[in-house]
Amino acid sequence: MALDKNQIAQRIAKEVQNGYYVNLGIGIPTLVANYVRDDIEVEFQSENGVLGMGPFPYDGEEDADIINAGKQTITTLPGASFFDSATSFSMIRGKHVDLTILGAMEVAENGDIANWKIPGKMVKGMGGAMDLVASAENIIVAMMHTNRAGASKLLKRCSLPLTGVGCVKKIVSNLAVLEVTPDGFKLLERAPGVSVEEIQAATEGTLIIDGDVLEMQL
């Protein structure tokens, strides 16, 4: 059974380690803060100028003045701080963020990512994703394995305009966990009830299968 968006976020939360400073991109990545273990200390950063984001607020407890980069209302943890965009991007460009979690429309087998523009669609610009992919040492992508038409989004080469080149380290999709290697996508885990054959059929890029593939634990 393929994972839903919350389950993708739940699996990615297992990658977050004690003491990490983490930037969460728009979309599925924003859900990760809801699933981080209680026994570790993590600081979530948003490029609009927040350090110390907490989970999403409960209905009726929202504060319209406290938002993330996707304009969603958020909570803040004790000790959180607010600052301007210049300071926020100094943190990002200065490589002070340990882990960046982004969404993507396409990822190539060499780690290229396309997540900002579909040709012919009006967009305001690439935004902070450009800085995040250029500066982060560890980038995990949260995405659906295929598009609505069933075509693979894990490709030999991206067809959409690139956000970054050779930067993605790991992908957690609704079907699998994959590592980007010099030889292609290495299959690490499969979603519960999803077969290796299903993942192969949904992956256009080179898929490396090394022995038995474990079922994902959420």
What does pTM read for this prediction? 0.93
The DSSP element (H or E) to which 210 belongs, if any, is none
**166: CB partners within 8 A, 6+ apart:** 110, 111, 112
Q: Give pLDDT < 50 ranges for the chain.
A: none
Q: What is the CATH number of domain 5-43+95-215?
A: 3.40.1080.10
41 is catalytic: no
Catalytic residue chosen out of the listed positions 15, 41, 43, 47: 47
Query: Residue 117 has what pLDDT?
Result: 77
Query: Residue 207 has what pLDDT?
Result: 98
The answer to whether 68 and 46 have CB atoms below 8 angstroms apart is yes
Give the domain ranges of the chain.
5-43+95-215
